[in-house]
Every structure is written in structure tokens, then in C-alpha cells.
Structure 1
Amino acid sequence: MNKRWTIGKIKEFVEKNSESKLLTTEYHGFSQKLLFKCACGSNFEKTFTKFKNNNQRKCDVCQPPKASR
């Protein structure tokens, strides 16, 4: 089943599942990068897919990217 994400549903997911805040106000699709504010105060961009599925829910300072293999 394909779940349609709206900016409201994404904002709700972010608030329930992370310490970050969603700053983006429009959602145009899964490949769009969204702007978030980390709990430390830094802003960072991630696609919602990465945020949701890869647990990349903090900025690169608080949660450094994993080294590529």
C-alpha cells in the first residue's frame, strides 16, 4: 500500500519520532530535501525517506554520516 505523505503527516512523524523540528512548509515528493532543525540548534537537510527509513534524524554534527564501505 502506498502511503501518501503530506507536510502535516511528516511534521507529526518528526515530532513523535525525533528531537528535531521540521522547518520546511511544503512537500513535493520523496526526492525533495527537507529542512530540519536539530535539537542542538543546527539546521540540516535530508530527504524524508532517509530521515524515516535510515534513522538519520539529527544533524551531521550530532549524528555523523556512516563511513561508506
Structure 2
Amino acid sequence: MNKRWTISKINEFVEKNSDSTLLSTEFNGFSQKLFFKCSCGNNFDKTFTKFKNNNQRKCDVCQPPKTSR
């Protein structure tokens, strides 16, 4: 069964699964970048797919990007 994500469901997911806070108020699709506030206070943007599936739930200062192979 395909789950339809809404901005309220995404906000609920963010609150339960990370220390970050969702700042975006609209969700128009998985390619859209959403804005978050990290627990350290920095703002960052990620697509919800990366946030959800790749565990990229912090800013680049707290969780630096992985080096490419």
C-alpha cells in the first residue's frame, strides 16, 4: 500500500525520528527540498527522501556529507 505523505505527516515523522525541526509549510513532491532546523541551531535543506531513507537528519556541520568513492 502506497503511503501518501502530507506536510503534517512529514512533520510528525521528523518529530518522532530526529532532533531536527521541520520549517517548511508545504510539500509538493519528493524532489522538493524541505527546510529544517538542526538541534545545533543551523538551518539546512534536504529532500524528504534523503532525510527519511538515508538518515541525513542533521545539518552538514553535525553530520558532514559522506566522501564520494
Task: Determine if the TM-score, normalized by the shorter chain, exceeds 0.5.
Answer: yes
Q: Which amino acid aligns with 1:50?
A: K
Root-mean-square deviation (CA, aligned residues, Å) is 0.4
- The percent identity for this pair of structures is 83
- Correspondences of 1:2-17 after superposition (within 5 Å): 2-17=2-17
The Cα of 1:2 is off from its aligned counterpart by: 1.7
Residue 58 of structure 1 is matched in structure 2 by: 58
Quick check: 1:38 aligned with 2:38?
yes
Distance 1:60 1:17 in 2: 18
Distance 2:27 2:18 in 1: 19
Residue 29 of structure 1 is matched in structure 2 by: 29
TM-score, structure 1 normalization: 0.98
TM-score, structure 2 normalization: 0.98
Q: Deviating runs (4+, > 2 A) in structure 1?
A: none
Count of aligned residue pairs for this structure pair? 69
Distance 1:30 1:13 in 2: 15
Which structure 1 segments of 5+ residues have no match? Answer: none
